[in-house]
Structure 1
Amino acid sequence: MCFMGMVHTFEMHGLKLALDVESGALHVLDGPGFLAVEKLAQGLAVDDVQKEAASEFGEETARQVMAEICELQEKGLLFSEPREVDLSSDGVVKALCLHLAHDCNLRCKYCFAGEGHYGGNRGLMPLETAKKAVDFLLEKSKGRKHVEIDFFGGEPLLNFQVLKDTVEYGKARAQEMGKVLKFTVTTNALRMPGEVLEYLNREGMSIVLSLDGREEVHDRMRVLPGGGKSWQRVLENCKAVVKGRGGDNYYLRGTYTRHNLDFSKDIDVMIEEGFDRISLEPAVLSPEAAEALQSEDVPVLEKEYEKLAQKLWQREEQGEKVFFFHFELDLHQGPCAKKRAQGCGAGAAYLAVTPEGSLYPCHQFAGDEDFCCGHVDSGVKDGLLTRFAAVDSANKEACRDCFARFFCGGGCHAAAWSMNQDMEKPYELGCTLHRKRVECGLYLQAKRMLASIG
């Protein structure tokens, strides 16, 4: 019997777990099973593994464990072999990030967009450009029925009238073409008068709200143009938005830096303030920046993620489930290996549109003319997008031996370029943290499985 498929074993909070990478099957193991699977995954010979298991747990237990492992392998649930996957793109654009504003009413210190203007002039997108972007998406999505637009910035609500007019136009055009156009808005929630709140909730628009957790953490990084604080006003507006939509169809998104390595306390505050759909991202900054995470921070951050996973499970046991975006894994993605292996679609299925109508592979490349890939008037320059399609998967050489590759699809192109000037080489610190988040998500899945069977 040959055990060649990739299996990842790890322990967390008393559970011994094994992930079969190719199938996505998750196994909760006892001591003998964990020893055998771990040793086989390390490449030890079957006879040697059985001898070691027999020495520690007895011959009968060792034989039984090896028989169970063989049975799971035959079922394709353990040490399953990799499959060849066609990763070619169909050329369909599924989503646009519409930069309604290259301006902002905050001056966040970690902002990748250069305080909202992306290294260029501050400005707002004209309605005519937004309409052309809608038409571009509906045309380039070809036969796909469901498409998406994310209103982004800067701060998109600085251009609220154009947002409303674009939604009205987009819905009408989509209906004419037999398509469904979904809208999302990402906002810092600093200025949300009643008209804005009522409109966003009435339209059922998905919303991403920005809050960094504790007041002192938020106000250190997310400051007003004159240096003033923003936390109290933002918190009140976030609460009003969520209440107005019945606590649904939103995410509260924060960012952590080296100044708050104890970030689970920020999530505690978010939960205590009444939010249960949360995302907290590590800032991706030049290593020279005072706020930038460093490699020596990794052990602290990994322990913090494990602490967070345990806290979230304790809440879930009490009937208070909190959706933490990075721990919500899909272990049942079905037989579509292509879907599991592909990345976010930046530069292929997903594009960003600047206020003047220029196209970029994603919002984080906006403003870098080397990555401008066309215009809503003239269409797409195929050469650059071919370059992105070639790296938009977990099949990159750097990813092939990573157990978490099917949960990220090859990592963030913008982070890879920012850190390494090479999209084939993922951002190493980001990968390390992502692997730990995947382990935490698997731990929570295992706890749910165990709870469901009593």
Structure 2
Amino acid sequence: MDSEAHDLFTKIEEGLDPFSLPPGEAREMVLGLISEGIILSKVDYPRPQKLSPKSLCLIVSHACNMACTYCSLSKATVEGKLMSPETAIRAMKWLIDNAPGIKVDVDFFGGEPTLAWNTVKAAVDFSKEYSKTKNKTVRFSMSTNALGLTDEMLDYCDENYISLILSLDGPKAENDRCRVLKDGRPSFDAVLPNIMKVAQRRQRGWYVRGTYSKGTINFSDSVIALHKMGINNLAFEPVVSNVSGVAFSKEDIPVIREEYEKLARYYVECKKTGVPIKFYHFEMDLENGPCARKSAGGCGAGAEYLAVSPDEKIWPCHQFDTEKDFCLGTLGDPPTQTVYDKYTIKNHLTGKRECPDCWASYFCSGGCIASNKLQEGDILLPYKMGCLIQKIRLEAALWVYSELRE
């Protein structure tokens, strides 16, 4: 599309009547494309018509061996309860029985899941055998702070292909700002040996996930420092918080933009010189990514993705755990088709205000409904700061994509 055609389509989208265009080839072409629904059409992709859980987050522990200052669980009024092996097995049976496809995904979450290690093993051992009777395959992952990760646990994870998401916010000074132990001591020196052990044992099936906040806003330095330590698989997310000194404001946006641009340049340099690196948010594939229908479906919370807490309650996702108004049911009384339909509609791009006309919507799939609820008070109202950061990150990722295609 040349610049003249682009300007023409932009004016039409802004309200220019196509019939007011001067007679000629361009006018006839534009009117023809509009009438055929090829351009400027409103697309409503069909949605799944029945309950179709594909992924399950097992919150096997409400307890944790750390006390990170930005963690919602550390401030929640929940007991440090562990999920029983029996509950985990019931949850896995329900998922395998009801999943429509042959592949299902399960993430062990907390709190800290290694504190409920017997429950993790019970769920995996049961699922491996039971899934065979249903001709299905279960893929496992575990999100852990790595503090209590033993060699025995790592051996079991390797044997059962359990992917590991390891929490670390950067080098010592940055990590220890928010990630502290129960007694307030810093955590970096206690967790790093276990994380490096994973990095040395595995080529794939793991990554370090960091969180950056107002106090650690220069996160590109943290990512680069971790990479130079030998941690090649990385993802860093902005904190979602209302706490002063932690939460972002609009004044932080220029700095965040500079940080992503700096990180993008470093990433491209590594890729072009053959230095191994994966930064999750820059791993963009415009040619083989998810289809438009899948992207329009949102994150899947409450529809394709569900969470189960130690008390057997079912939630749209782990971030709604303890939000009583969002409980979908229990393992004894699971979500009905009506509940599923409600969340399928709410999770769809066309159900979220401000999303349908946003250029980034099919990349972010409408964002996180839990963040929307926390920050805006409405799961359908996009979290404004999150949207701004998402667009900055996408712009950097698109630049990376274009640079590496040359």
TM-score by length of 1: 0.80
Q: Distance in 1 between matches of 2:264 and 2:369?
A: 27
Question: Structure 1: any 5+ residue segments left out of the alignment?
Answer: 4-32, 46-65
Counterpart position of 1:202: 159
Asked if residue 43 in structure 1 is aligned to residue 11 in structure 2, the reply is: yes
List aligned pairs for 1:377-392, cutoff 5 A. Answer: 377-392=332-347
List aligned pairs for 1:335-374, cutoff 5 A. Answer: 336-374=291-329
Q: Distance in 1 between matches of 2:247 and 2:290?
A: 39
1:258 counterpart (193, 208, 214): 214
Structure 1 residue identity aligned to 2:343: F
Counterpart position of 2:16: none
What's the offset of the Cα at 1:123? 0.9
1:160 counterpart (113, 117, 140): 117
Counterpart position of 1:215: 172
Counterpart position of 2:78: 120
1:189 counterpart (141, 146, 151): 146
Q: Retained in 2: the 8 A contact 1:214–1:265?
A: no
Counterpart position of 2:192: 235
List aligned pairs for 1:403-422, cutoff 5 A. Answer: 403-422=359-378
Q: Distance in 1 between matches of 2:290 and 2:129?
A: 36
Q: Distance in 1 between matches of 2:134 and 2:48?
A: 27
Counterpart position of 1:147: 104
What's the offset of the Cα at 1:330? 3.1
Structure 2 residue identity aligned to 1:354: S
Aligned structure 1 segments of 4 or more residues deviating by more than 6 angstroms: none
Q: Retained in 1: the 8 A contact 2:199–2:230?
A: no
TM-score by length of 2: 0.89
Structure 2 residue identity aligned to 1:260: T
Q: Distance in 1 between matches of 2:395 and 2:306?
A: 31
What's the offset of the Cα at 1:84? 3.7
What's the offset of the Cα at 1:339? 1.2
1:326 counterpart (277, 281, 289): 281
Q: Retained in 2: the 8 A contact 1:394–1:408?
A: no
Q: Retained in 2: the 8 A contact 1:278–1:325?
A: yes
1:93 counterpart (53, 68, 77): 53
Q: 1:235-291, CA deviations, whole angstroms, 9 ceiling, x for partnerless residues?
A: 11111012222x2111110000000111100101110111121110000001x4321
Q: Percent identity?
A: 34
What's the offset of the Cα at 1:399? 0.6
Q: Retained in 1: the 8 A contact 2:297–2:344?
A: no
Q: Retained in 1: the 8 A contact 2:70–2:241?
A: yes
Q: Distance in 2 between matches of 1:335 and 1:307?
A: 28
Asked if residue 83 in structure 1 is aligned to residue 39 in structure 2, the reply is: no
What's the offset of the Cα at 1:113? 2.0
What's the offset of the Cα at 1:232? 1.6
Q: Distance in 1 between matches of 2:164 and 2:136?
A: 21
Q: Distance in 1 between matches of 2:210 and 2:101?
A: 32
Q: 1:165-189, CA deviations, whole angstroms, 9 ceiling, x for partnerless residues?
A: 2110111110111110111000000
2:120 aligned counterpart, secondary structure: helix
